[in-house]
Copies of this chain bind each other. A is one copy, B any other.
Amino acid sequence: MRSLNDMGEFGFIDRLARIIPSSPTVVEGIGDDCAVLRVGERLVLVSTDMFIEDVHFRREGVSPRDIGWKAASACLSDIAAMGGAPLYCLTSLACPGDETAVFLEEIYRGMLSAMSRYGAVIVGGDTTRSPRGIIIDVIAVGEAIGGHFLRRRGAKVGDVLVVTGSLGCSAAGLHALTHGNSCGELVQAHMYPSPRILEGQWLCTRESVHAMIDISDGLCQDAGHLAKAVRLGVDLYPERLPVTPALAQYCAEHGLDPVQLMLSGGEDYELLFAADAKNVDKAMEAFHHEFRLPTTVIGTVTDEWTGVRTNGQIPPREGFDHFKPQTPENS
């Protein structure tokens, strides 16, 4: 019998989706960043994200406040990915119990500062014992403003793929942390990501934007989710990926390939969206005017194949999967 290690996280989720029944009041169920639920006249978004010591974070080199910020940001980014407004969070925390109350409170303060920055408050949770390490599950509850939200599903043949901000810095920051290298900007990108809440809401109001996802598992993996949702293919252009000076310098100094980090690094929490090729320039210009954040066209949507290719070629690996062999930068 196949184990989870054999089939991978996304293979298992596909199997689960087949045994879990749907319901008429569920607007969007398993398979997108958030569940979308009809409550009276409103559409409520709910997402949950687990953050586990020695899988998603290590205590070395980071503060408990960093840990809290990142746990909260990763979950809030799911709300951003659908263009929603975060309102409330719940947090389950398990730990062995020998941590000081001050250490644990610092984790909560980190979560609280991320949540309050993006308009959410903690309204509940659970506290319990773990046999090993800290386990945090953050649940974000938000709302689709005016009933509008963006799905992973919706990309059309000929659409361009656009990414906000820059990629690969989080993966390089993790490399710096685990190898004892100092590079504040990259470590900051890894531990203090900014979920693109307002940017997501803005993109959600553009007719030219057809589908959206946040980049948590890596560009290839997440572009693959957009493609799979409509059974189309995407072509990524590695030479167009936006490299920051800090990433270029760090990679040069440590013999790393910046393109590889940008393609499959993950945890950048930038937004990736598919948009009408004709009207995208105008939208990108208006976006830059609004947020002073760059956007870059990094691919197209095609019906010539399914899945992800780079310049028409099948890439050596797709991205991050918790149950498949790890990418070098995460190992």
Contacts and interface: CB of A to CB of B under 8 A. Distances in A.
A296 B222 CA distance: 56
B37 A141 contact: yes
Query: Considering the complex of A and B, which 6 residue pairs feature the smallest CB-CB distances, nearest first?
Result: A35-B123, A35-B124, A137-B137, A1-B100, A5-B97, A129-B322
10 contacts: A19-B108, A26-B121, A29-B122, A37-B123, A39-B44, A39-B143, A40-B42, A46-B123, A48-B126, A50-B137
A142 B2 CA distance: 35
Interface string A7-20: 10100110110011
A94 interface: yes
B112 A20 contact: yes
Nearest to A42: B40
Contacts of A315: none
Nearest to A9: B127
A141 B46 contact: yes
Interface in A23-49: 23, 25-26, 29-30, 32, 34-35, 37, 39-42, 44, 46-49
A116 interface: yes
A165 interface: no
A287 interface: no
Contacts of A250: none
A30 B22 CA distance: 31
A281 interface: no
A19 B50 contact: no
Given A123-B29, A124-B35, A52 B20 contact: no
Contacts of A139: 46, 48, 90, 139
A125 interface: yes
Q: Sort chain A's interface into a size bin.
A: 35 or more
A53 B129 CA distance: 10
A50 to B, nearest CB: 5
Contacts of A47: 90, 124
Contacts of A129: 52, 55, 322-323
B121 A48 contact: no
Nearest to A125: B48
B112 A19 contact: yes
Contact of A35 (B22, B88, B95, B322): B88
A285 interface: no
B102 A1 contact: yes
A142 B214 CA distance: 28
Given A37-B141, A41-B40, A125-B30, A97 B3 contact: yes
Could you say which of A5, A99, A108, A122 has the most chain B C-beta atoms within 10 Å of its C-beta?
A122
Given A3-B99, A5-B98, A88 B46 contact: yes
A131 interface: yes
A87 interface: yes
A151 to B, nearest CB: 13
B19 A97 contact: no
Nearest to A27: B123
